[in-house]
């Protein structure tokens, strides 16, 4: 996996406005890039939804940059686009993949009353690897480990992410997830969650924790049987896109 050769502009912020009253913020995952959310954004925009796909700090450049950022910069960057959407559109949603799901939840903990709903795809909320408790030491011993990206069943598809797992970045991710999980009960807006039954990056415990601990009364989980972790680019992508659009329509 590498971000070299990505389609022009797909590693950068993407924004497309609409004459309608609905907007969606789409958030990519850890070591990934906005490219993993672009097809979904295009699908929604073609149906009249304004979209924002920000490049989260430390991503879309080189893996070393993810060892230089603090986790607070991730929701801060996303919130800039959220604030803009809320100022322009009456009905606003947030969609997130993997760590982008945690970012979505982090924002929803603060802004649920302003949101019509959130959509999560294989969202991350904890790292069950027992070695994570030593990450504050590990990050000084090795700058990176092998990549966990491009977990896609469909042949020849890439999310245009990093070919390494930056350890200082993982330490920040661990802190981010703990801070977000502590406030899951504050997520009260309608929630739609897609979970791949075969995911080689995240165990199902992530989905189970979120479905159990969020405060939303309106929450639905849908199983994806023909995709791996990066389901937004996999065989079930159309199911995600169409179902999320219908979710927008029913919550608007």
The per-residue pLDDT for range 124-133, each reduced to its tens digit, is: 999 999 999 9
Is residue 230 assigned to a domain? yes
Compute the half-sphere exposure of residue 69: CA atoms within 13 Å on the CB side of its CA. 24
CATH code of the domain covering residue 229: 3.40.50.1820
Is residue 8 assigned to a domain? no
Over residues 15-21, mean pLDDT: 97
Indicate which residue of 33, 36, 98, 112 is catalytic: 98
Is residue 203 assigned to a domain? yes
**Is the predicted pLDDT of residue 252 greater than 80, yes or no?**
no
Instruction: Name 92's bridge partners.
Output: 23
Q: Does the annotation mark 163 as catalytic?
A: no
**Which of 24, 14, 96 lies closest to 251, judged by CA?**
24
Q: Which pLDDT belongs to residue 174?
A: 96
Give the residue numbers spanning the domain of 152: 14-251
Distance CA 34, CA 13 (A): 7
Indicate which residue of 199, 227, 236, 244 is catalytic: 199
Is residue 5 assigned to a domain? no
Question: Contact, 6 vs 35, CB < 8 A?
Answer: yes
Q: 34-61: per-residue pLDDT in tens?
A: 999 999 999 999 999 999 999 999 999 9
Indicate which residue of 28, 229, 234, 236 is catalytic: 229
Q: Does the annotation mark 174 as catalytic?
A: no
Q: 212-231: per-residue pLDDT in tens?
A: 999 999 999 999 999 999 99
Q: Which pLDDT belongs to residue 1?
A: 57
Burial profile 218-244: b = 16 or more Cβ within 10 angstroms, e = fewer? ebeeeebeebbbbbbbbbbbebbbebb
**Is the predicted pLDDT of residue 138 greater than 60, yes or no?**
yes
Q: Which pLDDT belongs to residue 5?
A: 83
Domain count, the chain: 1
Beta strands 164-166 and 191-196 are unpaired
Q: Which pLDDT belongs to residue 222?
A: 98
Is residue 7 assigned to a domain? no
Residues 6+ apart with CB under 8 A from 196: 122, 223, 224, 227, 228, 229, 231, 234, 236
| Percent of the chain residues topping a pLDDT of 70 | 100
Q: 86-128: per-residue pLDDT in tens?
A: 999 999 999 999 999 999 999 999 999 999 999 999 999 999 9
Q: Does the annotation mark 151 as catalytic?
A: no
């Amino acid at each position: 996996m590498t971000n070299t050769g990505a389609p022009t502009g797909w590693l950068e912020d993407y924004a497309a406005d609409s004459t309608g009253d609905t907007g969606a913020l789409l958030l990519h995952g850890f070591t990934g890039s906005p490219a993993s959310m672009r097809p979904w954004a295009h699908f929604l925009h073609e149906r009249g939804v304004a979209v924002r796909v920000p490049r989260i700090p430390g991503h879309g450049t080189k893996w070393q940059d993810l060892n230089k950022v603090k986790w607070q910069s991730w929701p801060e960057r996303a919130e800039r686009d959220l604030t803009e959407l809320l100022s322009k559109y009456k009905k606003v949603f947030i969609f997130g993949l993997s760590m982008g799901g945690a970012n979505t939840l982090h924002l929803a903990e603060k802004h649920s009353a302003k949101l019509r709903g959130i959509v999560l795809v294989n969202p991350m909320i904890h790292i069950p690897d027992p070695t994570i408790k030593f990450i504050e030491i590990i990050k000084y011993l090795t700058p990176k480990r092998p990549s966990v990206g491009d977990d896609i069943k469909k042949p020849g598809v890439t999310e245009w992410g990093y070919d390494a797992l930056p350890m200082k970045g993982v330490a920040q991710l661990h802190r981010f997830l703990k801070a977000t999980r502590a406030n899951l009960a504050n997520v009260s807006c309608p929630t739609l969650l897609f979970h791949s039954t075969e995911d080689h990056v995240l165990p199902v415990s992530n989905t189970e924790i979120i479905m159990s601990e969020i405060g939303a009364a309106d929450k639905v989980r849908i199983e994806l049987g023909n995709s791996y972790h990066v389901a937004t680019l996999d065989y079930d992508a159309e199911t995600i896109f169409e179902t999320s659009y219908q979710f927008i329509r029913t919550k608007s």
